[in-house]
């Protein structure tokens, strides 16, 4: 093989400055975070709440969070996987589900702060731009929208969640430019189109189109809807019921499941130790920690140089790894950290 000049020399690593951990993980935008968290100094310890919306492939997370030096404190949270409690079992990551999650979070925080009687918000979702009016006794609950790393295009689901929270009664500074149904040409929000999206009208339209043109794809794509007998015409009714259920009782229910006694990634120490065979006492089979390197054994052969001894030792370790992995596979157990040492 031709001689290749090493790109990352020792000097490179010596001068390398790592970015913040959450930036390395690609999860936090610090520029935005600084601006969201910074509280006026002459307001001292008054918390500044963020309305955080995050999407995963199968879930929507909406939280009200305030920052502190010890760590961010969550005031209230709502997940779209809670929506089955309110009657919505399918389509948990679409625009309509985002609206429901935002609404659920808003009602929950207001109930927690005992403001839910005063601030009913917008009962009937019309898709028009609605902002809370301050009531007599208390000012409305203010939060700032935190989208994370999402590209804020018109019609994004984060704005669906935002609309839900606004209609729920929270005071979040916003503009209607990014709601679904805003047209760039007329520079106006078409409330009808937005209302369609809130009630899943766009999903219903797609369902109708597929039913006519490609029935097999319809069966494949909307299998869960079909299983529950949800027709495109029922969508609006369904979502109206969900909104009503949310407004009726938004409190969170504790899950009845017990936490598992042993974390599923941990293997008991005896099993690992017995299988390994070598006397490597310093190892712990805890998945979170990489096991420390085994202490060097006495040099059997005084003629072996230090390097050769290390090579021998590493070879022995690799054999042990392979044995352990093979035995785990035999037993059908998951192969965890000690055998997957990188």
Partner 1 sequence: MPAGHGLRSRTRDLFSRPFRKKGYIPLTTYLRTYKIGDYVDIKVNGAVHKGMPHKFYHGRTGRVWNVTKRAVGVEVNKQVGNRIIRKRIHVRVEHLQPSRCTEEFRLRKKKNDSLKAEAKARGEVISTKRQPEGPKPGFMVEGAQLETVTPIPYDVVNDLKGGY
Residues that bind partner 1 (CB under 8 A): 15-17, 19-20, 30-31, 33-34, 37-42, 44-45, 67-69
CB 44, min distance to partner 1, A: 5
What residue ranges in 48-165 does DSSP mark as E strands?
49-55, 60-66, 73-79, 144-146
Q: Which is nearer to partner 1, 5 or 8 (CB)?
A: 8
CB 173, min distance to partner 1, A: 18
Q: Which is nearer to partner 1, 41 or 187 (CB)?
A: 41
Nearest to 147 by CA among 157, 137, 133: 157
Residue 121 near residue 167, CB atoms below 8 Å: yes
Q: Which is nearer to partner 1, 72 or 214 (CB)?
A: 72
The length of the chain, given as a count of residues: 342
Q: Which is nearer to partner 1, 22 or 217 (CB)?
A: 22
Backbone phi, psi, residue 257, to 5°: -70, 145
Residue 62 near residue 51, CB atoms below 8 Å: yes
CB 5, min distance to partner 1, A: 25
Q: Which is nearer to partner 1, 21 or 187 (CB)?
A: 21
Q: What is 240-296 written as a DSSP string?
A: HHHHHHHHH--PPPPP-PPPPSS-TT---HHHHHHHH-S--TT----TTSPPPPPPP
Give the HSE-up count for residue 49: Cα atoms under 13 Å, Cβ half-sphere: 18
CB 113, min distance to partner 1, A: 23
CB 34, min distance to partner 1, A: 6
């Amino acid at each position: 093989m031709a001689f290749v000049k090493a790109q990352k020399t020792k000097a490179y690593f010596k001068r390398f400055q790592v970015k913040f951990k959450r930036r390395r993980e690609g999860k936090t935008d610090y520029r935005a975070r600084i601006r969201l968290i910074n509280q006026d100094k002459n307001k001292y310890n008054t918390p500044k709440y963020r309305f955080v919306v995050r999407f995963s492939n199968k879930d929507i997370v909406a939280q009200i969070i305030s920052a502190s030096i010890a760590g961010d404190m969550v005031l209230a949270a709502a997940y779209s996987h809670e929506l089955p409690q309110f009657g919505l079992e399918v389509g948990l990551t679409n625009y309509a589900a985002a609206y429901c999650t935002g609404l659920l979070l808003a009602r929950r925080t207001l109930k927690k702060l005992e403001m839910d009687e005063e601030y009913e918000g917008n009962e009937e979702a019309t898709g028009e731009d609605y902002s809370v009016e301050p009531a007599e006794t208390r000012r409305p609950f203010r939060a700032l929208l935190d989208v994370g790393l999402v590209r804020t295009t018109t019609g994004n689901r984060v704005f669906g969640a935002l609309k839900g929270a606004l209609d729920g009664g929270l005071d979040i500074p916003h503009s209607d430019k990014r709601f679904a149904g805003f047209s760039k040409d007329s520079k106006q929000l078409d409330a009808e189109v937005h209302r369609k999206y809130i009630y899943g009208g766009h999903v219903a339209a797609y369902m109708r189109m597929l039913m006519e043109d490609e029935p097999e794809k319809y069966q494949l794509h909307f299998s869960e809807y079909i299983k529950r007998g949800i027709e495109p015409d029922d969508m609006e009714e369904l979502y109206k019921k969900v909104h009503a259920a949310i407004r009726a009782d938004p409190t969170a229910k504790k899950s009845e499941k017990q936490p598992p006694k042993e974390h599923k990634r941990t293997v008991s120490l005896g099993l690992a130790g017995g299988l390994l065979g070598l006397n490597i006492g310093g190892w712990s089979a805890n998945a979170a920690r990489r096991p420390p390197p085994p202490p060097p054994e006495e040099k059997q052969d005084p003629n072996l140089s230090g390097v050769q001894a290390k090579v021998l030792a590493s070879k022995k370790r690799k054999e042990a790894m392979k044995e352990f992995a093979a035995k785990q596979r035999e037993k059908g157990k998951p192969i965890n950290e000690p055998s997957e040492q990188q």
